[in-house]
Every structure is written in C-alpha cells, then in structure tokens.
Structure 1
Amino acid sequence: MKTNVYVLCGGKSVEHRVSLISASAIINSLDKKKYHVYPIYISDEGIWSNLGIVEDEIKEISELMYQSSNTVISSIETFLRSSFNEREQNIVFPALHGTNGEDGTIQGLLEILDIPYVGNGVMSSAIGIDKVVTKDLFAKHNIPQGKYTRLLQHQWKKDKLFSIERIEETIGYPAYVKPASLGSSVGINRCANREELEAAIHEAFSFEDKLVIEEEIIGREMQISVVGNEFPKASVVGEFIQERQFMDYAAKYTDGKLIQVIPAKLTEKVSELMREVAIKSFDVLNCSGLVRVDYFVTDDERFYVNEVNTMPGFTKLSMTPALWEKTDQTTYPELIEKLINLAFERYNKRKSFLYKRK
C-alpha cells in the first residue's frame, strides 16, 4: 500500500512564494510509485485547498495555487474530513517557511490530530524561529555569536530616543535590524547611522512587534545542515559567495547571484569545530529531522552562529540539498526520503509513551 504524503505549501506568511518553490521541488522528487502525493495549498489568507493527487511534474508554481471561497475554518474541516483514512499510512510534509508554518503552530495542530509530520516539533520550531529567544538560549550554552539586543514595539513607541541611544551604546554602527521571527531576509536592513536605524526599525515593525538588532560581523557567510533525531549528523561546511553586502530575498530566490562553494575553504580544524557547534545547536534546541545552522566566519577563521532555520528552503538554489550531496552523495530524492523516515521514527517513538496512569 502506498503512503499518502500531504505537502503543505504557501501559507499566511511573507515567505509564501518561497514555500511554493520548495514544495514544487519536493513534490517532483517524491517517488510516485511509492507515494500518493497531495499538494495542500494554503492561501495567504490561510484557506486550505487539497489540489488532488499529483502524477506529473510541477513545472510552474502557479500550478500549486488555488482560489477558494471557503473560510479558514471550513477549509481545514473539509481537508481533514476528506484526506485521512485510518486504514492507510499518512504523513504531512510542511514545506512552509516562517509564520504559521515554521513557528510551531502547524506542528501543534498535527500533534493534536496525531498525524506524523516531517521536521521539528512544536518547541523546537517555536524557539528556532524566534531569533531573540534562540540567541538567549545559545548564550547560556556558550555557543559563539555576535552582540545583539532586542527591541519591542511598545518600548519604541514609549521612548524612541532612549531606544536608539541604548542600541548605539550596546551595538553601535553599523548594525543590522531584523524582525525577530521572519526568514528569507525579509525586513532586514543594514544601518550606518541614526537616520538609517530609525527608518529600518520603522520598516521592521511593519512585519512584527519584536526585533533583534545585531552588530555587523565582517566575514564570509557559511552554512551547515544537520539531519537526524537522537544521533544527528552534520554536513560539510558550505559557503555562499555573493555580490551583495548581505543576502537579501532577491539574491536568494530571484536573480541567482549567489555561488555555492562546497566544501567551504577552511582549515580542517575549524571546519570540524563548526560541525560540532552545529550539532550542539541542534541538541540545545531539541531538534528533530533537520536544521540549518548559519555562520559568519572572519578572515582569521573565528566563527559565529548567525541563526538557525528549522525548515530550510528546498528550492533549486537552496544550500541544504547541495550540502548533503557533497557530504555523502545523498541525492535530493534520497534526502527527502530520509526526512520522511526520520519523521515516522519520531512519531513511533512518541506513540510508545504512556499518556495515562496504569
């Protein structure tokens, strides 16, 4: 009997389009002889639509989009009633990035419904998406990272001058302003002076009410993928060579102006230390399935964890699949298969626990 794989894509998130690109690649890589593959499109209003079983290759992301007249509640009810048969084996692959997909909310829903799913659980997802909470946790575990501070919207509204002066005293210029819980470089700006800082804060608060402000670290941007459950493994280190000062949304997903160098040019000692820190980060966040750990590496090979991504992109430009291909020749379809197997492993372990007293 084939396993039903429900690939969630789109979502009520600024990373809606990125999710569709990831989902199309995942859907195309799944073995249709082994799986029944169902794309589940979630509109940017949060309305769910089951697009039916896929047999052919997805060539355009528009094929994954559907305009529904349902409400959010009725659309989810329709999906649940029509999609799952207890006599069949089902699994959800949340190819969702950012809000309502990578933040623990969809994971919580699937936990309540007792449906296995790919990737990290509720706590790991919720912590991992919040850059401030992640950095606070990493600081307690001595994971190397740059200087940072947080800024809440109500603090900003109460006293803008005090907020700016505090940032200037603790971080200085240049500084990077980021929404705390968004990915794909959305809402991020580099600030060289007070005027730019104020404008960047104003823009970032249009996305959410908590920001992280970080010092600038001059260095190369590198990434490591960690895959596994109880015994995770780290990939080799990969590097992006870029034309821009930092990797914005267009550079990552639109204009292709990034060059992957795998493995990155590092001494063996530093490379191994970075892999150890990546696994430690995975363990600290209690991750399962996968995570991508992003670094800054200076010219003298000091390294700092920049952030983690608990559901990294799986587009044709994404680093995660490329890292594993260079690490142990794992192909894209094999990596997807491994993540599905890890998801069932985690689900079966959780099912073995007692939920009531004898």
Structure 2
Amino acid sequence: MENHKIRVILLFGGRSGEHEVSLNSAQSIFKAIDRSRFDVETIGINKQGQWFWGLLPQTLLKEGFPETGEAPQVTLVVDPSNPRFIALDGRPLPNDGKFDLIFPVLHGPYGEDGTLQGLLEMANVPYAGSGVLGSSLGMDKDRMKAAFLDKKLPLARFVTLLRSDYFNHPDNWVADIEAKIGYPCFVKPANLGSSVGISKAHDRSELIQALKLAADYDRKIVVEENIVGREIEVAVLGNDQPKASLPGEILPAEEFYSYEAKYSDIGSSLKIPAPLPQFVIDQLQKMAREAFLAVDASGLSRVDFFVTEKNEIVLNEINTLPGFTEISMYPKLWEATGIPYSKLIDHLIDLGFERYQEKQKSRISRD
C-alpha cells in the first residue's frame, strides 16, 4: 500500500429504511475523501439488496437506481486468499475488482447490524467501523443494555418483550409495563435505527398502539422509562484505546428526536459544544468510552445520553454507524474537538486497517 494509492470501496444504500440517509452520508464522504491518498470506487445497494458497481450517491439521490443491466451488478467473492468483486454478467471491473479496504456507509439492518460485517469477515477483507459483535450489539437495544448493565453504566428502567408473547398475552404485558415503567414511556423496536418505529406513549391506548407499531418492525420490543433531561451526544473514535469528543446537545423541534426531527427541516438544532459543567463533560466522555468498549465497538460510534437538571447522567444508547454527512452530529462533534471532516475519514480508514492487522495476529486453528 506504500507504492500506490489505497483502493477504497465506498459501499452505500441498502435495504433499510435509512437508505436515503446512507446515500447522503456516502455523498459527503465521496466529496471529502483525500484523493492524494485514496482511489475510490463506489458500490450502491438498492432497496432490493442488489449490488451495483460505479453508481454515484449524488446521482442516485436525484434519479434513483437505474434499471437492472445499466450498471454492472456485482458480488463479493468470498475467497480469503483472493477477495474481489466480480460482475455477474462477466463485464470487466477496474483493477479486476480488487481493493484494499471497504468503507461501509450502510445505516440500519443489513448494513449496521453485523450481517454485512460477517460477510466481510468471511472474505477476510479490511473494512472501516465495528465488527460483527460490536455492530450486532449496537443494533439490538436489549442486548446493548445488557452489555451496559454488565459494566454498571446508568440506564433508564426498561422492559423487553417478544412480539409473539405480546400478541398471545397483550393484557398481561400492558399491565406489566404499567407496573414497572409507567407513563409516559418510549416503545421501540429492538433492532432498528434513526427512531423508526419509535413512539412515546402517555396512556394505555397510546401504549397499545405503540406496541403494535414496534411489532411491525421487529420481533423484539423494548419499552423504556421516560427520562426528563437534556439530550446529549458524544462521538467516539478509535479501537482498543478510544477517544471521546466534546459533547453536543440536541434541541428537538418535536416532543422527542423522531425520524422527522432528525432528517426534516422542522427546526431541530444542535448545540456544539453543549454548555455543561466540566465535571459533567468529563463523566460523559468517560462513560462514552466505556459504552464503546462494553459492546466491543471499533472505529466510530456516537453515544447518546440524558443529563437531568441535577446533572445526573443516564446512558441511552450507542450507534455504531451514525449519520456521516458533513452536518451530522458525529463529524460536527469531532470538528469542534479538532478533527476536520476529511481527516476524520482518514482516521477511520487507518483504524480499519489497524483492526484488520490486529486480527491477523490471532490463530484460528492449531495447525
């Protein structure tokens, strides 16, 4: 890699409801990446899960995906000794489809949940971001909380239930939630991102509707206590020795930071750095690093907190592949901390190689 530019595959799109968010993140990275260090190829994944070589995120945002056949549909050859992409119709690809690292910018299921990472691990290729375990724990709000509790990190009260159990015994579960959590409460699909399928329930009627909505998106549902406090986020960067950014504050235009509040122009704003006492900032940064390590994340993560009027901190969740446009909270937090957007991309690619090289040191058999 010292004798040529590093060949990076930017992978984006995907099957999840965050498809357009992924395109926006990928477009920002594509524009800002250091071309003196990196040669960039692109692979766009449509909502049906098909992979296409050479599509540009900016074009897809304007025009959508082309008809099948207009761009080479490709697949990853899972050969640890010679990983590469090939076109399904036999068309030649630049550099025979070979590359040095994959930079996934896929938010939500089938991109951020460990499934893609498992494919990349089977092919034995370097990639940016968290591995299988960190990604899957970061996506599953129930197992994520279990990892946080194991490290004694402060959480809101919560109840986890399965969709099948709820529909078999709805009255029992409603009564259990009312007794253990009360109102108002948040109802969330366990495995989804960007506030999709999340509701705030103020009474029994709203709770029932919220449970039904969450059940549309996942077999596992998490119900959380409502915490009255400021919404604070901290960015984390690194692998085994992660660093934490200055905190930022979300000022949502709606009652909570919904999908619409995140991605629509309805008045939500960010305050960076968040005006907090230094001792609170220190605690937030320490907890953010601990949360990152608790789920075995790597590369990047955004850790979300509540801070109450009494400056008590409650950990909400970790996002192992947060929005990555130039105006997204994660890169803006690092910009305020001293790492500009383009350099942040450099760091993430370097961390991907570092993680890959560290893994190569481990034996997987006695031979």
In the alignment, which residue of structure 2 is the partner of 1:259? 269
Contact 2:85-2:97 at 8 Å conserved across structures: no
In the alignment, which residue of structure 1 is the partner of 2:35? 32
| 1:56-96 residue CA offsets vs partner (Å, 9 max, x unmatched) | x94772367333269xxx74258822558589651111100
Change (3 A) 1:156 1:232: same
Normalising by structure 1, what TM-score? 0.93
Matched, 1:214 2:213: no
Matched, 1:15 2:18: yes
C-alpha distance in structure 2 between counterparts of 1:47 and 1:59, whole Å: 17
C-alpha distance in structure 1 between counterparts of 2:278 and 2:285, whole Å: 11
Change (3 A) 1:5 1:63: farther
More displaced stretch, 340-349 vs 28-37: 28-37
In the alignment, which residue of structure 2 is the partner of 1:243? 253
Matched, 1:196 2:206: yes
Structure 2 residue corresponding to 1:313, chosen from 308, 323, 326: 323
| 1:105-151 residue CA offsets vs partner (Å, 9 max, x unmatched) | 00010011111100000011011100011112211211011010112
Which letter maps to 1:76?
Answer: T
What residue ranges of structure 1 are gaps of 5+ in the alignment?
none
Per the TM alignment, residue 32 of structure 1 is displaced from its structure 2 partner at its CA by 2.6
| 1:164-190 residue CA offsets vs partner (Å, 9 max, x unmatched) | 001111101001111101111111111
Contact 2:86-2:96 at 8 Å conserved across structures: no
Task: Give the CA RMSD over aligned residues.
Answer: 2.1
What residue ranges of structure 2 are gaps of 5+ in the alignment?
78-83, 88-92
The 3-state SS of whatever aligns with 2:306 is strand
Which letter maps to 2:67?
Answer: Q
Matched, 1:336 2:345: yes
Change (3 A) 1:88 1:98: closer
Matched, 1:50 2:60: no
Which letter maps to 1:325?
Answer: E
Matched, 1:177 2:187: yes
C-alpha distance in structure 2 between counterparts of 1:175 and 1:286, whole Å: 29
Structure 2 residue corresponding to 1:288, chosen from 298, 304, 313: 298
Normalising by structure 2, what TM-score? 0.90
Which letter maps to 2:62?
Answer: S
Contact 1:217-1:296 at 8 Å conserved across structures: yes
Contact 2:187-2:223 at 8 Å conserved across structures: yes
In the alignment, which residue of structure 2 is the partner of 1:61? 61
C-alpha distance in structure 2 between counterparts of 1:302 and 1:281, whole Å: 17
How many percent of aligned residue pairs carry the same amino acid?
39
C-alpha distance in structure 2 between counterparts of 1:77 and 1:237, whole Å: 38
The 3-state SS of whatever aligns with 2:336 is helix
More displaced stretch, 26-35 vs 40-49: 26-35
The 3-state SS of whatever aligns with 2:274 is coil
C-alpha distance in structure 1 between counterparts of 2:75 and 2:64, whole Å: 17
C-alpha distance in structure 2 between counterparts of 1:63 and 1:350, whole Å: 40
In the alignment, which residue of structure 1 is the partner of 2:283? 273
In the alignment, which residue of structure 2 is the partner of 1:351? 360
Contact 1:41-1:66 at 8 Å conserved across structures: no
The 3-state SS of whatever aligns with 2:323 is coil
In the alignment, which residue of structure 1 is the partner of 2:125? 115
Change (3 A) 1:291 1:270: same
C-alpha distance in structure 2 between counterparts of 1:152 and 1:87, whole Å: 43
In the alignment, which residue of structure 1 is the partner of 2:86? 81
The 3-state SS of whatever aligns with 1:76 is strand
Structure 2 residue corresponding to 1:5, chosen from 3, 8, 22: 8
| 1:174-207 residue CA offsets vs partner (Å, 9 max, x unmatched) | 0111110111111111101110011111111111
C-alpha distance in structure 2 between counterparts of 1:348 and 1:313, whole Å: 26
Per the TM alignment, residue 258 of structure 1 is displaced from its structure 2 partner at its CA by 2.1
C-alpha distance in structure 1 between counterparts of 2:97 and 2:327, whole Å: 38
Contact 1:7-1:39 at 8 Å conserved across structures: yes
The 3-state SS of whatever aligns with 1:335 is helix
In the alignment, which residue of structure 1 is the partner of 2:81? none
Which letter maps to 1:348?
Answer: Q
Which letter maps to 1:295?
Answer: F
C-alpha distance in structure 2 between counterparts of 1:262 and 1:165, whole Å: 41
More displaced stretch, 25-34 vs 275-284: 25-34
Per the TM alignment, residue 213 of structure 1 is displaced from its structure 2 partner at its CA by 0.4
| 1:275-324 residue CA offsets vs partner (Å, 9 max, x unmatched) | 11111111111111111100011111111111100001112431111111
The 3-state SS of whatever aligns with 1:206 is helix
The 3-state SS of whatever aligns with 1:81 is strand
Which letter maps to 2:173?
Answer: S
